[in-house]
A = this chain, B = another copy of it.
């Protein structure tokens, strides 16, 4: 019935998507309205969020809801990733087959996938799978294997081959380190094969990283900057930083 109300709920839903609870107080402040308004949003509109003793909790099954209060810092950190993902979502088109990387960066993107009629998501991350499993309009393909708790993702020998067999359209890749000369890297070696395979088969390759990763090199190298078509990030100076050795094909988008 109300547009703003729906917007606020979407906002809160994204804040909660990666888990945790949000106090009514903070939710109201985050949205810039009174507590009463949030209450009314929840009771008027159908929503997977529910209010337990003054705290907002997500009710997505099998959505993830660890129970701790979201700190203000976390909520703001989420805002950066949210902006990044909102920008990245513009590159998604109806019917796409997306490869979605592990990590926390791309989690806010998943909520936005419900705006499409039909999509396919390929991933090797448990937390991504959980968020996508709740979306009825998205086909989910999870690449299994041995679970690595550190990155909430799976690894297996056959993964490279499995990925190359799938018709992946767009690869959305995140990273723990990005450096012009020394390339793009992550923490865990088992992530290298799936990332590389996705980059190899996808028709469009997006790198989504917040600016804090620039100039950093992590143990596991997996690609050069020139392997990507698009970089989505949040620093004004990113275009200059990344195009120091200008590569004709790399387009930098600042969210």
Contacts and interface: CB of A to CB of B under 8 A. Distances in A.
Contacts of A149: 133, 136
Contacts of A136: 149
A19 interface: yes
Interface in A111-129: 124, 126-127, 129
* Prevailing SS type, chain A contact patch: mixed
A201 interface: no
A140 interface: yes
Nearest to A142: B144
Nearest to A148: B140
A177 interface: no
Interface centre among A52, A130, A143 (most CB of B within 10 A): A52
Given A126-B133, A144-B141, A61 B55 contact: no
A133 B145 contact: no
Contact of A64 (B50, B62, B140): B62
B62 A152 contact: yes
